[in-house]
Amino acid sequence: MNLRELTPSVIGILVRRGADFAAAEDAVQDALVEAVRAWPDEPPRDPKGWLVTVAWRRFLDATRSEAARRQREERVSEEPPAGRAPEADDTLQLYFLCAHPSLTAASAVALTLRAVGGLTTRQIAEAYLVPEATMAQRISRAKRIVSGVRLDQPGDVGTVLRVLYLVFNEGYSGDVDLAAEAIRLTRVLSSVIDHPEVRGLLALMLLHHARRAARVAADGSLVPLAAQDRGRWDTTVIAEGVTILQAALGQDRLGEFQAQTAIAALHADARQASETDWVQIVEWYDELLRLTDSPVVRLNRAVAVGEADGARAGLAALAGVDESVPRYTAVAAYLRERDGDLVAAARLYAEAAVKAPNLAERDHLTRQAARLNAARGSR
């Protein structure tokens, strides 16, 4: 088994034995370093048991007072042996701890990657394009915050899923593919908890990830969904995502990630953009609005309505969306272009480019404005 896959359950065992989170995480990291050194020459028969033993010893060695050491050892004596503890409980507890409501979203993501994902501080810093010292401070603060937290109440699965989705959406920087890492972590979560929304998120990630190769052109520019070469989509991953979604929907406990995934599956099902079932997509957006009442969902629904019922209907739907919602101007530009108002569309594309959250999106919107201006000039 991969060392990183063992990390969350080993930390969870130490926390359950009485170690605070920060000390447990440090001890396990020390044990992992020792494993990398020792295992190539003499691999253990029970890798997880070896890590628990070494990490616990490191934790005890790091305890400053003999009294504190006795307290923790007494607490261990009251617990069942580690071999009898359900690994799923330890892993799940760690997910909930890293997504604790007292943490900011950025801190929760960093702590999840560090403690559950087993990534180094340097790897996380590179993925987020920040200095390693900055990320180390962020992780240290997060560990201090959760060190005193005892999970004696059921954790919020929705919070954990939102953290994992944030990881997935961060992109692909440094030597860590955060999208692939988020999928791996969500698979682990799905293996230890039977919850339709966990399956829904995993399926959503897979369906989005299946389109990755077609999303960017050779020159690095963004390729919109309608213009993507669907022959480059990974049909094996799509099939897996659809199968997982069907299993989730079969539990008859619809949630927002399942509804989002149903929309993604309808896009994946169309052999070309013109075959997209926009009417059914609008219906799923209606379900999603019922579940979340999110302004972003209202914005995306306006696009779907424009495709299903025409640009005028889409603009009417857009009128009910707050203009401060991210990408509102880009959607307005698209619908104005579909409605034939090229002057307004070009102006709106230019405005949207200024507001774009990243360079690739800004360049794409700038090119759209330039394309329409050139088309007007040639008439």
Cβ-Cβ contacts under 8 Å for 163 (sequence gap 6 or more): 98, 99, 105, 108, 109, 112
Indicate whether 289 and 352 sit together in one domain. no
User: Is there a domain that residue 112 lies in?
Assistant: no
Predicted local distance difference test score (pLDDT) of residue 43: 83
205-to-168, 169, 186, 237 alpha-carbon distances in Å: 7, 9, 9, 10
CA atoms within 13 A on the CB side of 132: 6
Residue written as token pair 């009485």: 18
156-to-52, 86, 99, 284 alpha-carbon distances in Å: 27, 20, 9, 25
Predicted local distance difference test score (pLDDT) of residue 83: 40
Predicted local distance difference test score (pLDDT) of residue 123: 85
The 10 Å CB-count burial string (b at 16+, else e) for 66-104 is eeeeeebeeebeeeeebeebebeebbbbbbbbbbbeebe
Predicted local distance difference test score (pLDDT) of residue 360: 87
Indicate whether 198 and 263 sit together in one domain. yes
Predicted local distance difference test score (pLDDT) of residue 183: 93
Predicted local distance difference test score (pLDDT) of residue 1: 54
Residue 292 Cα to chain centre, angstroms: 18
Q: Using DSSP, state whether 78 is helix, strand or coil.
A: helix
Predicted local distance difference test score (pLDDT) of residue 146: 86
Q: State the pTM of this model.
A: 0.77
Indicate whether 206 and 262 sit together in one domain. yes
What's the total number of domains in the chain? 3
Final residue before a domain boundary, out of 290, 306, 323: 323
Q: Are 288 and 260 in contact (CB under 8 A)?
A: yes
Q: What span, in angstroms and rounded, lies between the C-alpha atoms of 171 and 179? A: 6
Q: Which range marks the domain in which residue 298 is found?
A: 277-323
User: Is there a domain that residue 252 lies in?
Assistant: yes
Predicted local distance difference test score (pLDDT) of residue 26: 85
Q: DSSP assignment, residue 169?
A: T
Q: What span, in angstroms and rounded, lies between the C-alpha atoms of 365 and 319? A: 21
Grouped pLDDT means (10 residues each) for the chain, 379 residues? 77 81 84 84 85 85 56 46 50 84 87 86 84 92 84 76 88 70 90 93 96 90 92 96 96 95 96 95 96 94 97 97 94 96 96 91 95 81
Indicate whether 334 and 371 sit together in one domain. yes
Residue 54 has phi, psi (to 5 degrees) of -70, -45
Amino acid identity, position 127: A
User: Is there a domain that residue 149 lies in?
Assistant: no
